[in-house]
Structure 1
């Protein structure tokens, strides 16, 4: 039997994968007049990166001053990160692979081993 925490984790990953597929579809065939994601793709990577930065700042502000808004802001941040990854031809699988590569390695060691 699968532990409840594992089921919740799997369901969250499935939801993120569905969100990523929807964002990819909006990039490929979305109408910028009716789809927020399609409108971001139409404006280009500088706008997408700007929105990601704005959402990151809003998440930090929520963490410091509005804890009840952290989850909402984190959801916005993840959405905009997936838009940026999609625009760059990358995916959540690429991020998962990088995290798997780092698993079990001290964060200090991993950072020190990065090319400068």
Structure 2
């Protein structure tokens, strides 16, 4: 988890930097629509790499996906720890049962 904590610290430090010198700041300046679009692009690229790419391509696209997710979460005042807590909550619960519980809401 140290890597993800360092990533979140870097994102926090660069949020308000000059968008011309920081990709994180550029994403934040573009707002949630830009961040969401970039996350979607990375998700698609990850799927394509999973289906047609090498292991190295899949790992690289997965890293991009996690990075963009962390940027988006940070912009919403959330963290990867929040996501981990949700995964912990779901541990031991059937995926089908968990999905059905969300559909009932």
Tell me, yes or no, whether TM beats 0.5.
yes
Where structure 1 has 5 or more consecutive residues not aligned to the other structure, the ranges are 1-12
| Superposed structure 1 runs of 4+ greater than 6 Å apart | none
Count matched residues.
103
- DSSP-derived class of the 1:73 partner: helix
Equivalent of residue 112 in structure 1, options 86, 100, 105: 100
Equivalent of residue 47 in structure 1, options 34, 39, 43: 34
Question: Which whole-Å CA distance do the structure 2 matches of 1:71 and 1:40 have between them?
Answer: 22
- 1:67: Cα distance to partner? 2.4
- 1:47: Cα distance to partner? 0.3
The answer on 1:78 being equivalent to 2:66 is yes
| Structure 1 residue aligned with 2:85 | 97
Where structure 2 has 5 or more consecutive residues not aligned to the other structure, the ranges are none
- 1:78: Cα distance to partner? 0.3
Provide the alpha-carbon RMSD of the alignment: 0.9
Larger Rg: 1
| Structure 2 residue aligned with 1:57 | 44
- 1:26: Cα distance to partner? 1.1
| Structure 2 residue aligned with 1:19 | 7
